[in-house]
Chains A and B, each alone.
Chain A
C-alpha cells in the first residue's frame, strides 16, 4: 500500500511478537499460551510478507526480483502449515493432560523438575 513506510508493518509485527512473548510468560492457561505462540508466528509472517513486498535492496534481474518476492510468501505458507500441525498435536496433548488430571494449570505441570 503506497504511502505506508515499511517501519509501520515491522513495528506492528514487533509489537505483536512482544505481546506474544509477554503472554507466554504471563498467562497460565496452556491454551492461551498456545494462542500467544500463534500470535508470534503470525507477526513473523507479517514481517516476511512486508519484506517480500518492500524490496529494500535493489535487485539485479527481473528473475531475481520475482524470486525474492516469492521467497517470503513461500516461507509464510510453510509457517502456516507447521503452525497447523503444531496446533493439532498441541491441543491433543492438552486434551490428554486434561483427561489425566482435571486441571490444565501450567504451573501444576511441573513433574519434569530436577
Chain B
C-alpha cells in the first residue's frame, strides 16, 4: 500500500492512528454533545484511554500509563462520583436550552480551528518522527523519567507536591460540612 494522499504515504501505522484518533475525536465531540453528564464522562474516559494509547505510540509509555492511572483511574472516577452524588444524570437539573451563545460559540470554535489549522498544520505535514536508536527509545521509560524528574526538575516537582497538598486541604475544607 504505497499510494499517497497529499504527498503523505498511507502506511498501516497511519491507518491505525487514524482509527484511534478518529475514535478519540468522536469521543471528544461526545463529551460536548451528550446531554447526559454521565455519558459525557464516559466519552471522556474513552477519550483519555485512547490518548494513553497514542502516548504509547509516541514512545511515552510511562506517561501513557500515568495518564490511565491518573485520569481514568482517579479523576474520572471522581467526576462520576460527583455526578452521581448530585444525581445530575438525566438532564433533570440543568436545562440545556439553546440560546445565541451556543451558535456563536460553535461558530467561533470552528473559526479558531480553521485559522489555527490553516496556519500550523501545512508546515507539519511532512515532518516525520526522528529515528530512535536503542537507548533513545528508553526515554519514555520509568527510569529516564525518574532521573530527569528528580535531578533537574526537582524544584518544580516539589512545588507541584506543595500544590497538591494545598489542593487536598482546600477540597476537604470545601466539601466537609464541619471540620
The one of B9, B29, B117 in contact with A19, judged by C-beta atoms closer than 8 angstroms, is B29
Chain A's nearest CB lies how many Å from the CB of B89? Answer: 11
By a CB distance below 8 angstroms, the chain A residues around B149 are 74, 77
A105 and B37 alpha carbons, distance in the complex (Å): 13
A15 touches B13 (CB 8 A): no
Question: Are A88 and B24 neighbours in the complex by a CB distance under 8 Å?
Answer: no
Chain B residue at minimum C-beta to C-beta distance from A32: B40
Main secondary structure of the interface of B (DSSP, over half): helix
**Contact, CB under 8 Å: B96 / A53:** no
Number of interface residues of A (CB under 8 A): 73
Q: In B105-151, which residues have CB < 8 Å from any A CB?
A: 105-106, 108-110, 112-113, 116-117, 120-122, 124-130, 136, 139-140, 144-145, 148-149
Q: Could you tell me which A residues sit within 8 Å of B by CB distance?
A: 1-12, 14-16, 18-23, 25-29, 31-32, 34-36, 38-39, 42, 45-46, 49-50, 52-56, 65-66, 69-70, 73-74, 76-78, 80-89, 91-96, 98-99, 103-105
- Given A26-B106, A73-B63, 8 further pairs, Cβ under 8 A: A12-B54, A15-B25, A32-B37, A42-B67, A46-B55, A54-B128, A89-B170, A105-B93
